[in-house]
Amino acid sequence: MDAGSNTKSERSGGHFDRGEERRDTNWIALIRLPDGTEIPTTVRGISASGARLAVPISYVLPKSFMFKVIGRDFICAVQLVWRRGDYAGVRIERVGKVPSMQARRPAESLDPGTTLRARRSRFSEI
């Protein structure tokens, strides 16, 4: 996603013309701030270069942050473009793939002898 092709021109009131079509969504997501704080959000619309996030106005958003859609394997680094009420418009700067749970978690090393001894002790009591 090319950050330079995401808007054609800025109009009054902070609205931006898009170079591509926005698709309505209702994805549950988490915003991750630079300090590690996570804020629940909903992605209400998305295009190739931006998104509209539902974020309560009580949360202060920095100029740049990341968000991850729950149940999807990607994370977006974004720049805040506008904020109105409980909505925020962001420009997508980068999209990264999140490793699967199996790839992120090292395999647990089990000692087979321990497992077998535990089974034998249960059978020996019968």
Q: What is the pTM of this model?
A: 0.64
| DSSP 3-state of 105 | coil
- What does the alpha-carbon distance between residue 101 and residue 71 come to, in Å, rounded to a whole number? 11
Residues with Cβ within 8 Å of 9's Cβ and at least 6 positions away in sequence, in order, are 16, 17
Question: 15-45 pLDDT, tens per residue?
Answer: 555 567 889 999 999 999 999 999 999 999 9
Around Cβ 21, how many Cβ atoms within 10 Å? 7
Reported as a pLDDT band with limits 50, 70 and 90, residue 113 is low
Question: 61-100 pLDDT, tens per residue?
Answer: 999 999 999 998 889 999 999 999 999 999 999 999 887 6
